[in-house]
Structure 1
Amino acid sequence: MKIYNKQILRGCFVLVFLLQLSFHQEVYAFKKKDYLVTAYGAIADGKTLNTKAIQKAIDAAAKNKGGRVIFSKGKFLSGSIILKNGVELFFEEGAILLGSINPDDYPKYNEIRAFIVAYEAKNIAINGKGIIDGQGRELALAIDSLHHTGVRIDPKYNYRRMRPEDGRGKLISFVKCDSITMINITLKNSPGWVQCFNQCSNIVIDSMKVESRAYWNNDGIDVDGCENVRITNCNVNAADDGICIKSESPGMQNNNIYIANCTIRSSANAVKFGTGSYGSFKNITIENIKVFDTFRSAVAIESVDGAEIENITVRDITAVNTGNAILIRLGHRNGDKPGYIKNVSIKNLKAQIPFGRPDIDYDMRGPEVDYFHNPFPASIAGIPGYLIENVTLENIEIVYPGKASKGMAYHPLSRLKDVKENINGYPEFSMFGELPSWGFYVRHVNGIEMKNIKLILEKEDFRPAFVFDDVKNLTMKAIDVPSDKNNQIIFKDVSSSNLDTESLKRKIEPEQNKFELPAR
């Protein structure tokens, strides 16, 4: 009854938020006045730098308590522009805003470097069926060239990966803003993260298209310490994480976030919590997501810098040709002490994992691991003394490639203690090295229910489907794994388990003198 009431209250809160936002948008729409950028001197030839003209139009709209700054059909070249209170950038179909490829055209504003910047602004919007194209690859390569010729030295230059880190900026960066709307717009070719919302509230993003494989670190959508966020009906193709919820500074809070009906392709993770995870992530729902050709995890939930993560619902996920289905990781990379992850529900997920890398046709592929390994399983892993709590996995179907070879990276079950903890490591499904199972690897967890789980092998795999190590309060019901193999579920230090032995009786045979199944 308590859970039911909590869900009702949460639903009512979301409904009130949406009604308030709808009312606000209607009032705002009534007051709008149009400001054509061409009326302020902008020229749509793709060559003339229109930064000052566009800013004049924005400033005029803001001075008159808001309005629509309109880009008509054509190509408008510009450097960094600042969006202000009550202003909407509206792009007619065929309108393209092009980013300059001169790094001097992107000065910092309140320590923010981006093509479109907003700081402490309210009632702002970017809408319409036009395109914002940052020309990020050209800009990044220009910055790279200036570094190597000694004209503009990047003190953070990454020589290992041969790319500049400083000065690339983002396509869009909104900081400490309230009431943001972004609908229908197409965002392309950022030099860094495509768009970042930092410490913002009341955000609605709908029917957006992100096509950004221009350069490294092209995260599609980043939400960093924000409240009351809706991201729906978006199509994201990004050369880094697709949709990423972050908490880059202590004390930041992500709360009441809803992500739904999106399609994602990524050279990293599709939907990810972290890696920056200093604050909290609470009351987040992710549903109806289609993932394809994605290098890393379809769903990655990570607390490695002290973050508090709780009340997370993920459901109705389809992932095809994806490196990993699920990663839930509690680590301790930074912070005084580890955070926590609890009350996570993942339901109705189907995934297909390939044998080779799934992003082989990407022009900006993710970095390979530097060691031999067999295909990785899904992982749910805390650290000693800090257990992930209360995880529910229900209606999960994952197709694995198999083809594991003992000659590739053999890790016998008698040496489960040797699987590295990597407590302070960067969180990825490959962070533990070779793993001794092909389906799920679960370690340092208290309270996990696995119900209606179907694991399929395309080819033979010598490893068991499941390995549980230091797990308490485990429930398994309706588990379907290949029936032609024994020893598909292996326990080490597992207590308080409840197994559906009727469905498992042909599939569980613990290795004698190694691990005993606890009494039911």
Structure 2
Amino acid sequence: MKFLTWLVVFNLFVFAAFAQGKNYNIVSYGAKADGKTVDTKAIQKAIDDAAKKGGKVIIPAGKFVTGVIYLKSNVELHFEKNAFLLATTKRIDYGLGKASALIVANKANHISLTGYGTIDGQADLLLKDLYAVIKNGTIKDKEWQTYNDWHQMRPEEDNRPVLIHFTDCSDIAIKNITVTNGLDWIQNYTNCNRMVIDSIKVISNTFLNNDGIDLVDCKNVRLTNSFFNVADDGICLKSSDPKGACEKIFIANCKIRSSASAFKLGTASFGGFKDIKVRDIQVYDTYRSAIAIESVDGAVIENIDIRNVTAKNTGNALFIRLGKRQKNIPAGKLTGIYIANVNVQIPVTKPDAGYSMEGPPSLFAHNIFPASIAGIPGHPVQGVKLNNINITYGGGASKKVAYFPLDSLSAIPEKIADYPEFSMFGELPAWGFYVRHAGDISMQNIQIRYKAADFRSACVFDDVAGLQLNNFKVDKTETLPVMLFNKVTKRYLQKIQIPGKSEFAIKTQ
């Protein structure tokens, strides 16, 4: 069944099934809206009863505290206006071993989270309790004594609860709710099929790893009209199963603020990513990349179509990386990427400065990083088409801050097994685009500019087999060559608009 056809059928099913099902108000089961009483048993009993014949569990207006609850097939958990589901702040309530998520569903079908209420993880209070039970030995943690890049102690992820985790579920609707204040990934959907996520708000800047939403090896997903303001990646697709994949996913009309990357494929990338479409995304105050596409664990990434992205005050426009972190797994493939209609403004200052959990300070001095497309020797990024890309850099680069000479390209580290990030190669000799170990790259209708002088070349293309530049404009430059081509074959240039004397503006070596 085609995706849009399935979407219509599924929406009709949800309306019909839950409209006819019985309502189960948690207050009728003894839940108290006082913000103190732990209502886990009452809420779970309402869910269990609703699951018998299918129905809607009502969270009415008020503040209800809960521990771990399990959503079951044919149940809609519906939040009325001004309803708050508050997570317990006792770490022990999530289990002695790996922390359970707050709302769990396993192998459930036809499930929904709907309405206009809020799921609040109460992360500040939960973190205090987590530290206490680690110190007294109730909970074991192997990482919390280690300081991270944010210069604070970091309990391991397994000890920090996810707020929503659905595994092996199908026919899912998540609509209109607000989810906030988590200690880890906010939502984790693993190996789920046929999902509609619409008009949700996710706000969480309490702690590390606060991804707004993670779709892990999911298929047939539609995510639309949603807002994310989070301390880690905003919308993140992952593949943790070598036999799995994220496939047939449509994302549109979302607004993202992130202290990591706004939209990302990866970093976990064992299986694959296929048939992903992204439309009409707004990004602001984002520390890392507006768009990041990464295969570093053997994944095949193909048929990715991203259009209409506007990013203001964002650390990097575009980062496409094929790497190899796993010794015993062959490098993956990255091909068939189309990105169009992108407008990005990159500042000199830290884009997320002032947020409660902003990105870590840089570990080395550097100038502004360019957009990057980078494979590894013998495994190039293939088939990337960029069309109508407009990037404005803050500029202001200085050799006193950092300097990498153009005649030393081979000295730029490969970092084959490193965590993928646009800053991973250190200082680069280009301010606009850096492309290395790639093939069949097409860049049409591109304009790059800077506000303050930058002494570096605009673009460096290194080890590229097949490069097409058509209507490529560099607004101004301080140095020559404007473009450097090193080991570039099958090169096609048309309508290249670059300042400076034409015979010196482009250099081949």
Structure 2 length normalisation: TM-score?
0.96
Q: Summarize deviations over 1:19-52 as a string: whole Å, max 9, x none.
A: 3312322332343210000000100000001001
For the Cα contact (< 8 Å) 1:331–1:382, is it kept in 2? yes
Q: Which residue of 2 aligns with 1:192?
A: 184
Distance 1:212 1:507, change over 3 A: farther
Q: Which residue of 2 aligns with 1:164?
A: 155
SS at match of 1:386: coil
Distance 1:459 1:507, change over 3 A: farther
Which residue identity lines up with residue 357 of structure 2 in the other structure? Answer: M
Q: Which residue of 2 aligns with 1:82?
A: 70
Distance 1:284 1:459, change over 3 A: same
Pairwise CA distance, 1:210: 0.4
Report the more deviating stretch, 441-450 or 157-166: 157-166
Q: Distance in 2 between matches of 1:221 and 1:319?
A: 19
Which residue identity lines up with residue 215 of structure 1 in the other structure? Answer: F
1:91-170 → structure 2 map (5 Å cutoff)? 91-107=79-95, 113-157=100-144, 159-161=146-148, 162-165=153-156, 166-170=158-162
Of 371, 378, 394, 2:371 maps to 378
For the Cα contact (< 8 Å) 2:460–2:484, is it kept in 1? yes
Pairwise CA distance, 1:69: 0.5
Of 193, 206, 210, 2:202 maps to 210
Q: Summarize deviations over 1:151-200 as a string: whole Å, max 9, x none.
A: 42313435122121132110000000001101000001012110000000
How many residues align structurally? 502
Which residue identity lines up with residue 294 of structure 2 in the other structure? Answer: E
Structure 1 length normalisation: TM-score?
0.94
Q: Which residue of 1 aligns with 2:233?
A: 241
Q: Distance in 1 between matches of 2:463 and 2:295?
A: 19
Distance 1:428 1:196, change over 3 A: same
Q: Distance in 2 between matches of 1:174 and 1:180?
A: 9
Q: Which residue of 2 aligns with 1:496?
A: 490
1:332-347 → structure 2 map (5 Å cutoff)? 332-334=324-326, 335-347=328-340
Q: Which residue of 1 aligns with 2:455?
A: 462
Pairwise CA distance, 1:480: 1.2
SS at match of 1:406: coil
Q: Distance in 2 between matches of 1:151 and 1:228?
A: 41
Which residue identity lines up with residue 138 of structure 1 in the other structure? Answer: L
Q: Distance in 2 between matches of 1:77 and 1:331?
A: 44
SS at match of 2:395: coil
Distance 1:124 1:112, change over 3 A: farther
SS at match of 1:438: strand
Q: Which residue of 2 aligns with 1:417?
A: 410
Q: Percent identity?
A: 47
Q: Distance in 2 between matches of 1:322 and 1:17?
A: 36
Q: Which residue of 2 aligns with 1:9?
A: none
Report the more deviating stretch, 259-268 or 475-484: 475-484
For the Cα contact (< 8 Å) 1:156–1:164, is it kept in 2? yes
Q: Which residue of 1 aligns with 2:259?
A: 267
Q: Summarize deviations over 1:358-377 as a string: whole Å, max 9, x none.
A: 01011101122311111100
Q: Distance in 2 between matches of 1:462 and 1:140?
A: 46
Report the more deviating stretch, 285-294 or 248-257: 248-257
Q: Summarize deviations over 1:416-441 as a string: whole Å, max 9, x none.
A: 11111100010000000001100010
For the Cα contact (< 8 Å) 1:449–1:474, is it kept in 2? yes
Matched, 1:387 2:351: no
SS at match of 1:17: helix
Q: Summarize deviations over 1:399-423 as a string: whole Å, max 9, x none.
A: 1011111122110000011111100
For the Cα contact (< 8 Å) 2:471–2:495, is it kept in 1? no
Q: Distance in 1 between matches of 2:116 and 2:142?
A: 39
Q: Distance in 2 between matches of 1:368 and 1:483?
A: 30
Report the more deviating stretch, 326-335 or 37-46: 326-335
For the Cα contact (< 8 Å) 1:487–1:508, is it kept in 2? no
Which residue identity lines up with residue 17 of structure 1 in the other structure? Answer: W
Distance 1:457 1:446, change over 3 A: same
Of 318, 340, 351, 1:358 maps to 351
Distance 1:292 1:183, change over 3 A: same
For the Cα contact (< 8 Å) 1:170–1:191, is it kept in 2? yes
Q: Distance in 1 between matches of 2:281 and 2:495?
A: 33
Distance 1:492 1:150, change over 3 A: same
Q: Which residue of 1 aligns with 2:217?
A: 225
For the Cα contact (< 8 Å) 2:24–2:50, is it kept in 1? yes
Q: Which residue of 2 aligns with 1:62?
A: 51
Pairwise CA distance, 1:506: 5.2
For the Cα contact (< 8 Å) 1:192–1:218, is it kept in 2? yes
Segments of 5+ residues of structure 2 without an aligned counterpart are none
1:267-346 → structure 2 map (5 Å cutoff)? 267-334=259-326, 335-346=328-339
Pairwise CA distance, 1:285: 0.4
Which residue identity lines up with residue 15 of structure 2 in the other structure? Answer: E
Which residue identity lines up with residue 5 of structure 2 in the other structure? Answer: V
Q: CA RMSD in A?
A: 1.7
Q: Distance in 1 between matches of 2:496 and 2:68?
A: 64
Distance 1:312 1:112, change over 3 A: farther
Report the more deviating stretch, 263-272 or 111-120: 111-120
For the Cα contact (< 8 Å) 2:476–2:498, is it kept in 1? no
Which residue identity lines up with residue 261 of structure 1 in the other structure? Answer: N
Q: Distance in 1 between matches of 2:287 and 2:387?
A: 24
